[in-house]
Amino acid sequence: MSSATFSLPAVPVSPRPAVVRSTAATVFLPKEHGSWSLALEPLALGLLVAPSWAGGALAGAVLAGFFARRPLRASFVAGDRFRQQAARETLVMWGALALAGLFEAGVLGGWSALWPLLPAAGLGLCFAHWDGRGDGRSAGAELAGSAAFALVPAALATLAGKPPAVALTLAALVLARSVPTVITVRGYLRTAKGAAPATGAAVAVSAAACAGLVALTAMGMAPRLAGALGLVLLARTLWLAGPWRPAWPARRIGQIEAALGLLYVLLLAASWA
């Protein structure tokens, strides 16, 4: 007696899509390496020169706002709902920390001492406008963002009871570092990608920043080392903008700028009278 084997017809099963849940770190950590230096250097210089509990609270608020940028954008991008949910939760967390830090700074140091944040907030709104349109890496956006962070040390100084002259000097020291850096590095990277060299703006701005630092030193408002550091930054620009510029990737340029910024902050803080 013969036996027959019966088998059920195969039913096609569609593969389950792999679900990748976004961790909080992948949502809020900035991708741009240069933004870390432009955000942390002003806070470090301000806290080293004019430390205070109120300034520490404001620095925490500024850091929270810095980390809130990416989740803010990701919250309104359609796509992975898990990533969108993580972004919104992270945004609420950083937003709450920023408001709490700002409130604590105002209570401890006095609300009137926060006046340098008014122009910083205006520049921050300009950056947010460009960033919301997807132009966060444009020249205008990067300059507005770096200038906004450069004004924070002025608020750190006023919260510590320093006079306006000291506050504005700190802001000028950071502006002389950050703005020429943005223009110089942008020009270098564009040239490395094949664009026509446009070095005039970088050299002119760096020379003006160097002259400003020398003038602050001559007036006794900044440490004597500030003028020398201005010359170092100008030499950096001439090197990266000239025909002898090295063929280095963006990562190495970022590492060198981070080391240069750290040296700039530490030397100024150490020589501050």
The 10s digit of each residue's pLDDT in 164-204 is: 999 999 999 999 999 999 999 888 888 877 766 667 888 99
Contact 143, 131 (CB under 8 A): no
Q: Is residue 244 in some structural domain?
A: yes
**What is the rounded average pLDDT for all residues in the chain?**
84
Contact 42, 150 (CB under 8 A): yes
Q: Is residue 1 in some structural domain?
A: no
Q: Is residue 234 in some structural domain?
A: yes
Report pLDDT for 198: 67
How distant, in Å, are the alpha carbons of 49, 87, 99 from that of 64?
22, 14, 9
Q: Is residue 115 in some structural domain?
A: no
How distant, in Å, are the alpha carbons of 2, 77, 120 from that of 123?
87, 24, 5
Percent of the chain's residues with pLDDT above 70: 84
Interaxial angle between packed helices 33-49 and 164-192, expressed in degrees from 0 to 180 and rounded to the nearest 10: 160
Compute φ and ψ for 80, nearest 5 degrees.
-65, 110
Burial label for 197, CB within 10 Å (0-12, 13-18, 19+), is middle
Gyration radius of the chain's alpha carbons: 24
Q: Is residue 88 in some structural domain?
A: no
Q: Is residue 3 in some structural domain?
A: no
Query: What is the value of pTM for the model shown?
Result: 0.83
Domain that holds residue 267: 162-273
Q: Is residue 214 in some structural domain?
A: yes
Q: Is the dihedral of CA 236, 151, 271, 56 positive or negative?
A: negative
Report pLDDT for 79: 64
Domain count, the chain: 1
Cα distance between residue 63 and residue 35, in whole Å: 12
Q: Is residue 54 in some structural domain?
A: no
Going by C-alpha positions, the residue among 179, 195, 199, 211 that lies closest to residue 240 is 199
Burial label for 105, CB within 10 Å (0-12, 13-18, 19+), is buried
Q: What is the pLDDT of residues 66-108, one digit of tens each?
A: 888 878 777 766 666 777 777 788 888 889 999 999 999 999 9
Checking if the pLDDT of 16 tops 50, the result is no
Write the DSSP assignment of 205-264 as a string of letters: HHHHHHHHHHHHHHTTSS-THHHHHHHHHHHHHHHHHSTT-----HHHHHHHHHHHHHHH
